[in-house]
Structure 1
Amino acid sequence: MTESLIPTRVVDGVELPAAGTWRIDPGHAEVAFVGRHFMLTKVRGRFTAVDGAVEVAEDPADSRISVTIEMASVNSGDQARDDHLRSADFFDVESNPVATFVSTGVHWEGNGGSMTGDLTIKGVTKPVTLTVDYLGYAQDPWDNHRAVFSARGRINREDWGLTWNMPLAKGGLLVSREIDLELEVELIHAG
């Protein structure tokens, strides 16, 4: 194996992906969200159409990521809820078909860290910080080099104009303002 094809390297005693471009594998990427219904029950959903790339830098803290999410791909396991999420009450996918995340800073230590970036939903851009873990490397049966990451964070959906709600008779709201984000991503080394 030539030096340019080595898919990992050791940085400060930890094995990390090699510097270069790593593409998100859409078939093995999940951008999920968890909210509360009646302020009690967890409701989970995910976006099934996710694309993007990570530019892994020699210094992991200089790495960058850019992601595009097709908002119509939302799937929460309930067609009526998904249709409502796609409507103007929430994502308004007819006018805003994609959301994007572009990193603005990375803090990396060992095999994890945090990433800050600009999340744009419905034309509104706000900063978000995610906790990120590098889970490891694998070579698949077709000789693709894969790096696997997990990330999580919490946002207030109202910061992006996602304000639809209904008050409950005994107080509280039908849908929580705080939404947990959970990401599981496989990247394929592209050079």
Structure 2
Amino acid sequence: MSSDTAAATRLLDGVELPAAGTWKVDPGHAEVGFVGRHFMLTKVRGRFTGVESVVQIGERPGDSKVTAVIDMASVDSGDKARDDHLRSGDFFDASNHPTATFESTSVNWDGTAGTVIGDLTIKGVSRPVTLDVDYLGYARDPWDNDRIVFSAKGKINRENWGLGWNMVLDSGGLLVSKEIELVLEIEAIREI
């Protein structure tokens, strides 16, 4: 471990983890995505390209905090008509609720994996969300930035945030699944 690496990471109980401090998520290397089902069969993936987030790593990993602001108009599912519908009042109502937020309320950590629980606010409605998080490691980029990488997953029922638009199919199913999987791939840069 080089001295640069030692400054950016530390050993806790024999596991290399990020050093305590402020790590800002790099939006160019952040995938804040979701997966739903269309016709209850086909997976439809989307993501938000406008994300600002900070990970405050605590001296004790369980004292860490995460905050995020998501630009709801930045939704991108690869289909303009679908994205326009997602921005509309049927779903995100981005003109009246331009951002969603996430603020952690507790972090439970063991080795390189943990659970982050926090309040997700969409369209002015706040509900708790649980994310299963894996710390994937540390890298120093060619521009001398210290980076840490996390992967996270969780599931929500979109109707809990007032995202209830749907259509009943002739077969009795729904056009859009209620359950949405959250999928995050995050790189964060150490703030000095």
TM-score bucket (shorter structure): over 0.9
Structure 1 residue 140 displacement after superposition: 0.2
State the match for 2:79 in structure 1.
78
Structure 1 residue 115 displacement after superposition: 0.5
* Cα separation, 1, equivalents of 2:165 and 2:3: 55
* Cα separation, 1, equivalents of 2:15 and 2:3: 21
**Residue aligned with 1:77, SS:** coil
* Cα separation, 2, equivalents of 1:109 and 1:52: 23
Give per-residue Cα distances to partners, 1:129-177, cap 9 Å, x unaligned: 0000000000000000000000000000000000000000110100000
* Cα separation, 2, equivalents of 1:2 and 1:122: 46
Q: Does structure 1 residue 26 correspond to structure 2 residue 31?
A: no
Gaps of 5+ in 2: none
Q: Does structure 1 residue 156 correspond to structure 2 residue 153?
A: no
Gaps of 5+ in 1: none
User: What is the TM-score when the length of structure 2 is the normalising length?
Assistant: 0.97
Matches within 5 A, 1:32-111: 32-111=33-112
State the match for 1:131 in structure 2.
132
State the match for 2:188 in structure 1.
187
Give per-residue Cα distances to partners, 1:53-111, cap 9 Å, x unaligned: 01100100000010010000000000000000000000000000000000000000000
* Cα separation, 2, equivalents of 1:184 and 1:117: 17
**Where has structure 1 moved over 4 Å in runs of 4 or more?**
none
User: What is the TM-score when the length of structure 1 is the normalising length?
Assistant: 0.97
Query: CA-atom RMSD, angstroms?
Result: 1.4
Aligned residues: 191
**Residue aligned with 1:6, SS:** helix
Give per-residue Cα distances to partners, 1:118-137, cap 9 Å, x unaligned: 00000000000000000000
State the match for 1:145 in structure 2.
146
